[in-house]
Chain A
Amino acid sequence: MTRTARRNRRTLQVAGVGAAALLALSACSSSDSDSSSGKSDSSASASGSASTKTSGTVTVFAAASLQESFTALGKEFEKEHPGTKVNFSFGGSDTLAAQITGGAPADVFAAASPKTMKIVTAKGDAVGTPATFVRNQLEIATLPGNPDKISSLKDLTKSSLKVVLCDKTVPCGAAAQKALTASKLKLTPVSYEQDVKSALNKVVLKEADAAVVYKTDVKAAGSKVQGVEFPESANAINDYPITLVKNAPNAVAAKAFIALVQSAEGQKVLTEAGFLKP
């Protein structure tokens, strides 16, 4: 191989690496805007249709526990308002709240607790007073068939059991703590999980014997876990507030989405998923 040929090949390789890096970068940024912002779409459409018509992309930041029901409602919304698209970003309410106060272009924020909603209202990033649209109650998730015969919250304190709780910093963990304190029980879990779905998954994967999660999560997991209701959960019911975000790129569509969530139709989807009416 001649010298020039070799050099050309090397240049090509360098160019190839550079191109790959660029591709990777752009792939990241585009997927980013798809999943969480949809900024370009919505701002373009907002300027296109001046005021009343519902169109464009609406970006909804919602608590992880709302994933199944909100995804269904999003499809419903897109059907009712042709030409619209609902983008969801599901996650821990605290993380989402921090993203919104940090300037993430969200239209709607639905949190799993008033405390996390307060992070957003305290910074003046919400429009008006957030409305409670559903409530969620805790339930024990056990292995299918409940082989450890767990029937109460007290049963979870047995030392032979591997129990996972949500961390106290996330709403499901705070609620579980409240229920435990109210019933004067001391429970040492094997792990404090970072969100409710991680806690549930430890039971789904049979690594833990039980987890304290929401009714809705037990329902969503289907036959992979078995739910055990416990009366103490009445002391720790979480209100889920929803609000329009102040700098919403698409406020018109956002309001329409919130209206759908609060409508009889929206409430039906949510209660079927295991939520309680507000």
Chain B
Amino acid sequence: MTKVDASDAAPDTLVAGARRRHARWWGRGVPLPLLVPALIGLAFLLVPLVALLVRTEWHDLPDQLSSPAVWQALRLSLLCATAATAVSLVLGVPLAWLLARVEFPGRGLVRALVTLPLVLPPVVGGVALLMALGRNGVVGRLLDSWFGVTLPFTTAGVVVAEAFVAMPFLVISVEGTLRAADPRYEEAATTLGASRFTAFRRVTLPLIAPGIGAGAVLAWARALGEFGATITFAGNFPGRTQTMPLAVYLALQNDPEAAIALSLVLLAVSIAVLAGLRDHWMSAG
């Protein structure tokens, strides 16, 4: 969205803006009423993670991490989170476009409903998924009798649970970008003879790519940490539905050290992936 603003603005203001943004933090540029809460906020987010590192029994760590169960859970986590992000992209981007670009009655309500999984406690989300897609669910019953497919207790079930919780993040992010993007580019494309779908594909998509990237990263991170909906809908079986958060929770029951070790692996992997993504294709946003 900054791209569009930038092309509208005069070049000299842009440069000044950039310089102002990079003001030294101790300089006049950062007012104290903003700096103090900002630093407290940062500490609030980081201190628990630091505490986790402090309490780690480092000499036991190699033992804890050498168990194949850990890598099995990690592999499953990465696989399912990525699949859930893919599902969210395929379904979520068109949904965001619909919400941002098409006027229809009850749009505000639909927009609110889309964000509902954000406020729903994930465990309730899991129960709702069972009601809908379980063996006896409203839709699940048909899936079972027509195709012999049951989702609970399967890896596909994990993907479904994670996508359910993660997709709203992507939709909100993409819809925000779409609404900030200038629709006149698409209108220009359609007046020049492109169909609305071509305009979406060739003009809108490249325009909102940073927003899609940011939304996908958010959704992926949310899916990776998903616990409640997953354990409720897909259950917990090593290698099939036991993702890292589930393994961490169950390890916490009788071996807190193992739980901390597992959490560290998950943290390290997520930091690596998120930092990599930010540098590569989120810098544009």
Interface residues of A (CB under 8 A from B): 92, 94-95, 98, 162, 164, 167, 169-170, 189-194, 198, 202, 205-208
A198 to B231, CA, bound (A): 9
User: Closest residue of chain A to B242, judged by CB?
Assistant: A192
For this complex, 11 residue pairs linking A to B, each with C-beta atoms less than 8 Å apart, are A92-B253, A95-B252, A167-B250, A169-B253, A169-B254, A190-B237, A194-B250, A205-B131, A206-B136, A207-B135, A207-B152
CB within 8 Å for A190 and B135 given contacts A98-B252, A169-B254: no
Per the 8 Å Cβ criterion, residues 212-256 of B in contact with A are: 231-232, 234-238, 241, 249-254, 256
B97 at the interface (CB under 8 A from A): no
A170 to B236, CA, bound (A): 13
Q: Contact at B235–A164, with CB atoms within 8 Å? A: yes
User: Closest residue of chain A to B231, judged by CB?
Assistant: A194
Supplied contacts A169-B251, A198-B231, A207-B152, 16 more A-B pairs, CB within 8 Å: A94-B252, A94-B254, A98-B252, A98-B256, A189-B237, A190-B235, A191-B235, A191-B236, A192-B236, A193-B231, A194-B231, A202-B235, A205-B127, A205-B130, A206-B136, A207-B153
CB within 8 Å for A205 and B236 given contacts A169-B250, A191-B241: no
**What are the 8 tightest A-B residue pairs by CB atom distance, in nearest-first order?**
A191-B235, A169-B253, A190-B153, A94-B253, A206-B136, A169-B254, A207-B152, A207-B134
Interface residues on B, range: 20 to 34
What number of residue pairs across chains A and B have CB atoms under 8 A from each other?
59
Q: Which residues of B contact A162 (CB under 8 A)?
A: 153
User: Closest residue of chain A to B249, judged by CB?
Assistant: A194
Min Cβ gap A208→B in Å is 8
A164 to B130, CA, bound (A): 15
A202 to B127, CA, bound (A): 10
Q: Which residues of B contact A170 (CB under 8 A)?
A: 253
Q: Contact at A193–B235, with CB atoms within 8 Å? A: yes
Q: Which residues of A contact B251 (CB under 8 A)?
A: 169
From A167, A191, A205, A208, B253 is in contact (CB under 8 Å) with: A167
A192 to B250, CA, bound (A): 10
Q: Contact at A95–B235, with CB atoms within 8 Å? A: no
A92 to B250, CA, bound (A): 11
A206 to B232, CA, bound (A): 13
User: Closest residue of chain B to A93, judged by CB?
Assistant: B253
Q: Contact at A207–B236, with CB atoms within 8 Å? A: no
CB within 8 Å for A206 and B135 given contacts A162-B153, A164-B235: yes
Min Cβ gap B15→A in Å is 27
Q: Which residues of A contact B249 (CB under 8 A)?
A: 194
Q: Contact at A193–B236, with CB atoms within 8 Å? A: yes
Min Cβ gap B263→A in Å is 15
